[in-house]
Amino acid sequence: MCQEATHDELIESLKITLQEALAFNREEALLNAGVHYQDEGFVGLWSDRAEMQDSTAWVKNNRQSEWAVMEPLLIRVSD
């Protein structure tokens, strides 16, 4: 049983917990990366490539093409 009395209280509590966890993980990742992680050669490696100008579109298109290959397999498994 949880300490929150209502559904709304539970949702709010979960949101706060998630925000705290994300903040902690971000801080830990930055500490582990070191002060000069942006000076590493791999950071920005593809920044001059035309397809990376809109990285969101690139990810979306890549997922669609990769998942399209898997779709026939998923249909067979669910039948």
Phi, psi torsion values for 54, nearest 5 degrees: -120, 85
Q: Which amino acid is at 44?
A: G
This prediction has a pTM of 0.37
Paired tokens of 4: 């929150």
Q: What are the pLDDT digits (tens) for 54-69?
A: 888 988 988 888 887 7
**What does each of the 79 residues of the chain score in pLDDT, given as a tens digit?**
678 788 888 889 989 998 899 888 888 887 877 767 767 767 677 778 888 888 889 889 888 888 877 766 666 554 4
Domain ranges of the chain: 1-36, 47-79
Please provide the DSSP assignment of the chain as one string. --S-SSHHHHHHHHHHHHHHHHHHHHHHHHHHH-TTGGGSTTTTTTTTSGGGTTHHHHHHHHHHHHHHHHHHHHHHHH-
